[in-house]
Amino acid sequence: MKIAFIGLGIMGKPMAKNLLKAGYELRVYDRNAATLEEMKAAGATICSCSAETAEGVDLVITMLPNSPHVKSVMLEHDKLAEKMPKTATFIDCSSINPVASREIAAKLAEYGIDMLDAPVSGGQPKAVDGTLAFMVGGKEEVFNKFKPVLEAMGSSVVLCGDVGAGNVTKLCNQTIVAVNIAALAEALQMGQMCGVEPEKIFEAIKGGLAGSTVMNAKAPMMMDQNFQPGFRIDLHIKDLTNVQDAAKAVDAPIPLTQMVLEMMKILHHDGDGACDHSALLKYYQKLTGEVLHH
């Protein structure tokens, strides 16, 4: 199967490499010359522009920051919808507003092109080791056809409903992750200030009901003051803003999401937007003047 992969960033590059490892033929383009060299060494075909990647492929995959970028690549600036074969399928792994997913799918349908929205969870570590969780929206027969492709990049691939359902599910995921990280930071900071070592708190509760994948991934980062991004605060702000928009459309109450979004916006304005979302801890450290430690 010949695949065009657009978006070789912190998530897209390891995902694309896993497709190559699985034996798929990959056509790629990126503005970063070093990234292209890396992908060429991994076995990808390097194209001179994004439009060229879509020539003669069976599948186009995008992994881009937000809705406008996907619309630009597929419909507006690069117009891959006009370049890709009408027998090809489009899978968008970006985390975008589900309304935008449905709009893009409707436009592609005019070209006779099927679409799946398939955002992911797991961050860079799971993108690297191929254990991402895919939340997918689209036709069941299209999902079944391309499920093996997604399984080359992830350990969980679930069809959630029609197009848009994948991104609705991702928004739910991002709410749960954000509130979890904020609660973890709040609890560890309070525990330390009450005289108990954060590492002991983590060890004691991680195997109980409060334990989670979020805790296992983020507690060590917080204690190490390691805020190198697996998933940047600015990207989580984007996701929670999409949650806000989706919730408003159906009048769903989201008080916890709103609170964490405001915390993230404060960190962004303090210059921490490029940090990992575990840097929610910095919100508490700035309030207390006390730094979390091992």
* Same-domain pairing of 138 and 176: no
Taken in order 229, 11, 66, 215, the sign of the CA dihedral is: negative
Which residue range(s) make up the domain with 126?
2-163
Q: For residue 158, give both structure tokens.
A: 């679930």
Mean pLDDT of 244-266: 97
The reply to whether 293 falls in a domain is: no
Q: What pLDDT band is residue 230 in, cutting at 50, 70 and 90?
A: confident
Distance between CA atoms of residues 239 and 270, nearest Å = 19
Q: Of 125 and 152, which is predicted with more confidence?
A: 152
pLDDT exceeds cutoff 90 at 177: yes
The answer, yes or no, to whether residue 255 has pLDDT greater than 90, is yes
pLDDT attached to residue 123 = 86
Is 90 exceeded by the pLDDT of residue 31? Answer: no
- For the chain, the domain total comes to 2
Distance CA 138, CA 105 (A): 9
Q: Nearest 5 degrees, angle CA 137-CA 217-CA 208?
A: 95
Domain identity same for 13 and 147: yes
Instruction: Read off the pLDDT band of 294 (50, 70, 90).
Output: confident
Catalytic residue annotation: 170
Q: Tell me whether residue 104 is exposed, middle or buried, using C-beta atoms within 10 angstroms of its C-beta: 0 to 12, 13 to 18, 19 or more.
A: buried
Question: What span, in angstroms and rounded, lies between the C-alpha atoms of 208 and 75?
Answer: 48
Do 236 and 100 fall into the same domain?
Answer: no
242 has a pLDDT exceeding 90: yes
Tens-place pLDDT, residues 53-71: 999 999 999 999 999 999 9
Any domain includes 244: yes
What DSSP state is assigned to residue 276? B
Q: What percent of the chain has pLDDT over 70?
A: 100
Judged by DSSP in three states, 232 sits in strand
Residues 157, 177 within the same domain: no
Helices (H), 96-211: 98-110, 123-129, 140-151, 165-193, 198-205
Label residue 215 by pLDDT band (50, 70, 90). Answer: very high
Q: Look at residue 194 and give its three-state secondary structure.
A: coil
Query: How does pLDDT run across 131-164, given as a tens digit for each residue?
Result: 999 999 999 999 999 999 999 999 999 999 999 9
Question: Which CA distances in Å does 83 have to 56, 73, 109, 138, 155?
Answer: 9, 11, 15, 22, 31
Q: What's the whole-number mean pLDDT along residues 42-50? A: 95
Looking at the fold, whether 58 and 193 belong to one and the same domain comes out as no
Nearest C-alpha neighbor of 124 from the set 12, 264, 29, 39: 12
Mean pLDDT over each residue of the chain, to the nearest integer: 96
